[in-house]
Structure formats: C-alpha cells, structure tokens
Amino acid sequence: MKPASIAPARLFQHAEPLHVRGARVRHLLILLPAGADWCDAPEHEAAEAALARRGKKADAPGKAPLTLELPGGCLSVWLRLDQGKDAHAWHSLVRQALQPLLDEHPAALDIAVFGAETFRARAAEAAVYVAWLNGVTLPVWKSEKPPAALGRIDLHGINGLDLKRARALAEGNTLCRTLTMLPPNLLTPASYRARLRDLALAEGWEIEEYDLKRLKKLKAGAFLAVARGSAHEDAAIVRLTHAGKGKRAGHVALVGKGICFDTGGHNLKPARYMNNMHDDMNGSAVALGILLAATRLKLGMNLEVWLAIAQNHLSPDAYTQNEVVTALNGTTIEIVHTDAEGRMVLADALALATQSKPQAILDFATLTGSMAVALGERMSGVISNRDALAETARQAGLACGERVVPFPMPDDYDEALDSTVADVKQCTLDAEADHILAARFLNRFVGDTPWLHVDLSASRCKGGLGAAGSDITGFGVALGLEVLERLGR
C-alpha cells in the first residue's frame, strides 16, 4: 500500500524575495526573526495600516501569528520566531500560523522567509515540514467528497536548501497517521498484513511472516496467549528488513506493538476506555514510518522491523487471569490482567529481535495508562537499560520537536512482579508505576542488548501536537529517525 495521500506537495524554491503586488499569490505565510523590522517584508505598509485599524502597532511583540488580508485578496499570516526557542515551540507556532491558510484548502501556498541566512534556513525547513504534514488528505469516510490536498509550495527568500530529510519525515509521519486512523473493520490483522506485503513490494523491503503455526513451533507462548482471543487466526509477527549500503552499516532492530483492537479481553474495558482502541496498533505504525523515512533517505544502516500484529478480544478461547504461559525465550509468565496484552506480544517480538544480535533495539508502543497519567498527551516517556541511550533519546526529542522524558528502571521494582507459580508476573493489579513495571517485565526479553522503550503517551493529542495538526500525531517517527542517525554517528 502506498496511498497517494502520503505524497507531500511539490516544492519550488526562489532566492529572490516575494513581492505580492502583481503576483498571483492567494495564501501567504511570512516568517521573520523576533525583533525584525516589518519593512523587510512585502506589503508592510498594508500590514501596518491593518494593524492601526485594530489599534495595534507594527512593532508589537510577535508571540502569536497575525492574520491580515493584503491588497488583491491575498490572505497572509505574519509570524516572528524567537531563535532561542526549541523545535517543538517553532513547529507549534508555525502550525498555528498555517492553520487559517490551510483551512481554505488552497491548491498552492507561498512561504516567504526574511532575516539572516541561518534563520531563513531553519524557518524555511520548519515551515515546509509543517505544511507538508498538514497539507495532505488524511483518511475520512464522510459522504461528501474530501477537499484536495495541497499541491504546490513556493518558498521565497532562499534557494538550494536540501529538504530531503524533511520530506522523508513527512512521508513517514503521514503513513503512520494514515494507518492509525483506519477503523478496526478496515484494519484487521489480516488486512494489515496484506498492506505490509504491498508496502514491502513497493519499497524493496524483505518481508517474513511468523504466522500462528510457525509461532507455535517456536513456542512463542506470550504472543499466542493474546492471539487466542481472535477467532480469525490471522495474528502474526511480521519482520521487515531494509539493507543499508556500506560494509560498516550498523544493525538496529525496531519493534512495534500492533494490536488492531483492544477490548481488554476478559478484563473488559469500560466503554470510555475502549473508545479509540483501534489506535493500539500505533507503535507498529510508528516503526513503519521510521522505516519508510530511513528508506527514502537511503540511511546507511541495516534495519529489522518486528511488528507484533494481533487483536485482544473477548472469546471462550481468550486467555484468562492466573494462566501460566511460556514465552519464546523460556520465561514462564503468570497472567494477572488480560488488558496488559501489549507487554505479552512485545515480549516474544523482542526475544525474536535479539536473535540477530543488533547493536540496539528500539520499541514503540501505546503501552501503559500510567505513562499518560504521568505525562499527559504532550510528551512521551522513554525507559532504557542504558542511561546513555535514554539520554540520546532525550536530546533527539529536543532536536526534532518530539519531547520525551526518561524514566528510571531500578531493579528493586522486580519485587512487585515476583510470582509464586512462574518466573514472573505479567503485571500487578495496582496502577502504581505500571510504566516502570512494564519496562522491568520487557527487560527480561532483550538480554544484554542495548534497548530503548518508547511508551507513546503522545500518540493522540486533542487538537494536534507540535508539527501535526491532527489528533493522531505520528509522534515517534521523527524521534526514531533522529535516534537512528545519532546511533549511526
């Protein structure tokens, strides 16, 4: 599957400044550094006149975007950006500025940047990336015809800027959001696997599917326990491989939780918490988005992506509390709560990922409610068995605009998971520190491999987050690519 909707708008760069008069410009974003003279921008007289009518001065601080209509019917948004702010702050402000322009669903958008060359380069990249993310047509099933996607961006004030990375990230993020938004009747494990085959064919990835028959031979009891709840027997762990070029290419594994719908199983969720549980495959979509971006950039790294695809349903065959199952690596697990299925499917996927001895494993999952309680929906949490890797993720988040908070993973938390009948309890019945307990549980399945766990509490944020204006944010794609690039260095 490679839907046309993930393709960003065509980009054209122009070194010369934009002059609105005489140009057929209808939707314009103007970016200036904080404290810049408005006279640097086109039609500044018209802007000053419009401000005067509102009783404001042209030199008023530009913390928020200013929307003005210029002569000739051009809708313009003016924004000053503080060069001391981080990527998240810039992305958020630029998205706010672009909103009234993109709300009119223009076929073309003009972006003009002013100021020093370093500012223009940073502002142009941020603006084009945000426009690419929010100018696409995301899935919708309304009866009326959806508006057309943004088709063209003209960037003024800079030329020759390399935006291949921003474009690759936009495609990866849009693929992630597109898959996550599919309703559960359109994205089942069977149809998801079919889409993965199409994607692998289109992108040149190797694909290997560990179906239930094969997983039974491998004794992947943790994954199989969850898969029992679905009568379709279409669950699988899918492995996608991208070969990096060069003899010294690194080897990193990405693991994603792909629960296409999560009822909670026998420990059934109430309606409020079951709503939107088709999002529970978001971790797998994040891993796919990272893989697509890395492929577009020809990242010199060997990537293995392991996707644990299943559903957690209530049925006579579904797993129950107090069962004891054996995971692929031989660890016996006492089941305590059937709604803690994510760590079960990840356990066997992580164990499989370690077998090829990667230099690091990164896993992505909408795993615990306690992480959402700790951080809300504007940041995600990371936990690692290497302090340096957690710090790399924190710095990567600041650089790319997807903020993460490292949490500790002290081994004395294992006491809460002691079982009298098995090697480990799946979880506890208390909500306390479940994000740390889940990480301690998963740590048993990665051996000594450096491992980073990303608990995606920011996968859905009402009104959008950072660069993304949709409730489904695609959080993790930019973070994951940034971490990979830092590991490669």
Q: Determine how many CB atoms are found less than 10 A away from the CB of residue 62.
A: 20
Using an 8 Å Cβ cutoff, are 450 and 360 in contact? yes
Count of alpha carbons within 13 Å of 192, Cβ hemisphere only? 35
- Which structure tokens are listed for 181? 């938004």
Residues 6+ apart with CB under 8 A from 362: 252, 253, 254, 255, 451, 452, 454, 480, 483, 484
User: Would you call 52 exposed, middle or buried from its count of C-beta atoms within 10 A (0-12, 13-18, 19+)?
Assistant: exposed
The single residue listed with the structure tokens 């938004």 is 181
**Any catalytic annotation for residue 378?**
no
Pick the catalytic residue: 343, 403, 425, 440? 343
| End-to-end Cα separation, the chain, in angstroms | 32
Query: Is position 343 annotated as part of the catalytic site?
Result: yes
Please tell me which residue in 269, 296, 378, 486 is annotated as part of the active site.
269
Contact of 5 with 136, CB cutoff 8 Å = yes
Are 215 and 224 a contacting pair, CB within 8 Å?
yes
Q: Considering Cα of 437, then 439, then 444, then 450, what sign does the dihedral take? A: negative
Which positions are catalytic?
A: 269, 343
